[in-house]
Amino acid sequence: MPLIPLRILLDHAAENGYGVAALNVNNMEQIQAIMMAAQETDSPVIVQASKGARKYTNDAYLRHLMQAALELNPNIPMVMHLDHGDVPETCFSAIEQGFTSVMMDGSLSEDGKEPSTYEYNVEVTKKVVEAAHARGISVEGEIGALGGIEDGHGAGLTEEEAQLHLTDPEQAEQFVAETNVDALAIAIGTSHGAYKFKKKPTGEVLRMTLIEEINRRLPNTHLVMHGSSSVPQELQDIINAHGGEIKQTYGVPIEEIQRGIRHGVRKVNVDTDSRLAITGAIRTIFSEAPAEFDPRKYLGPAREAMQEVCKKRMIAFGQAGNAGKIPIKTCKEMVDFYTKQAPAVS
Ligand code: G3H
Ligand code: 13P
Ligand code: ZN
């Protein structure tokens, strides 16, 4: 089966009331972990790579690793998505490399740090939508700015500052009408990385009611939750028990993500949990078997630990059991769909 556009998968998820984990990759083991979890749970998958991941792997390695995953898992529908494209050119080069979906993150200005203006966001997102849809590629946009790690697609905002840049529901509605995006990332108080909340989040900092309001205004738009790692206590404990130094922190509880899924969230971005699982497994081997120096002896357990996280998320978000049910369409077939779509309002 060829790589499929994000839109097809999220349309099916919306029709059937489930969410799909969008899992970040940077190497072979992470791609394998996702595919092993997908096989175990019969799940369709969204594999996503950031600009940093593309630089780290080199697009050619990434492309061929994804092709290998397709070849070895012909029963699993797979989307290859660009996470946080910073400028249109990053999205265009991803399309050239065979990505079937791109995110144009115009919520931040070109420096990737400061929140941008609404007008700038519409301009760059529209430009990407026009070029991508002409080739049947899906586009995710973002309105509102997330907090979190500065070098990883947050505006460098603290938990408190992030509350000032939450998505405005009225602006979200206008943004979708003006850009025609297939999916919309919203800021509801989450942030990238491990340090999201200082205590288990309440509705005051994790604004689930905002999702409900956006969903009321945009019932046909697929919403995306970024910064959705749950930062499990057990993974923090494993790392810290083996020489790590993760300060006590709290992520997004699974039950809150499930609440989001009941209100239009279809794509749930998870990267940090995979990183924590991998680090915990490697630290464990390094401290318990310090004489070990065969990379397979620690990368193998790291892959298994990430597989376990992916499997848990696939089950919790409801994508499990759906691999064989997606009405497959290629990007080429989607061109026709977009041609018939009503034009964006300007
Ligand atoms: O949104 C952030 C993702 O976790 C990717 O992070 O830019 O370090 O690859 P990265
Ligand atoms: P986490 O850091 O919570 O895993 O978020 C990942 C993400 O949003 C990638 O775009
Ligand atoms: Zn993100």
pLDDT, tens digit, for every residue of 221-244? 999 999 999 999 999 999 999 999
Minimal-distance CA residue to ligand 2 atom 1: 227
Residue 32 Cα to ligand 1 midpoint, Å, equals 19
Our answer on whether the CB atom of 152 is closer than 6 Å to any ligand 2 atom is: no
Residue % of the chain over a pLDDT of 90: 90
Q: Let me know: does 323 contact 25? Beta carbons within 8 Å.
A: no
Print burial letters for 195-227: b (CB count within 10 Å at least 16), e (below 16).
bbbeeebeeebbbbebbeebbeebeebbbbbbb
Instruction: Starting from the CA of residue 23, give the closest ligand.
Output: 2
Global confidence as pTM: 0.97
DSSP-derived secondary structure letter, 250:
B
In the prediction, which pLDDT does 146 show? 86
pLDDT, tens digit, for every residue of 57-90? 999 999 999 999 999 999 999 999 999 999 999 9
Instruction: Starting from the CA of residue 228, give the closest ligand.
Output: 2
Q: Residue 164: pLDDT band by 50, 70, 90 thresholds?
A: confident
Q: Let me know: does 229 contact 270? Beta carbons within 8 Å.
A: yes
Our answer on whether the CB atom of 81 is closer than 6 Å to any ligand 1 atom is: no
Residue 181 Cα to ligand 1 midpoint, Å, equals 21
Ligand 2 atom closest to the CA of 226, numbered from 1: 8
In the prediction, which pLDDT does 41 show? 98
Asked if residue 152 has pLDDT above 60, the reply is no
Our answer on whether the CB atom of 54 is closer than 6 Å to any ligand 1 atom is: no
Minimal-distance CA residue to ligand 2 atom 9: 269
Tell me the mean pLDDT in the region 195-200: 96
Residue 262 Cα to ligand 2 midpoint, Å, equals 20
Our answer on whether the CB atom of 190 is closer than 6 Å to any ligand 1 atom is: no
Catalytic residues: 83
Residue 305 Cα to ligand 2 midpoint, Å, equals 18
Print burial letters for 314-326: b (CB count within 10 Å at least 16), e (below 16).
bebbbbbebbeeb
Tell me the mean pLDDT in the region 142-160: 73
CA contacts within 13 A on the Cβ side of 94: 33
H-state helical runs in the chain? 6-16, 28-41, 51-57, 59-72, 88-96, 118-133, 159-162, 169-179, 208-217, 233-241, 254-261, 272-288, 295-317, 331-340
Minimal-distance CA residue to ligand 1 atom 2: 152
Structure-model confidence comparison of residues 145 and 123, the more confident one: 123
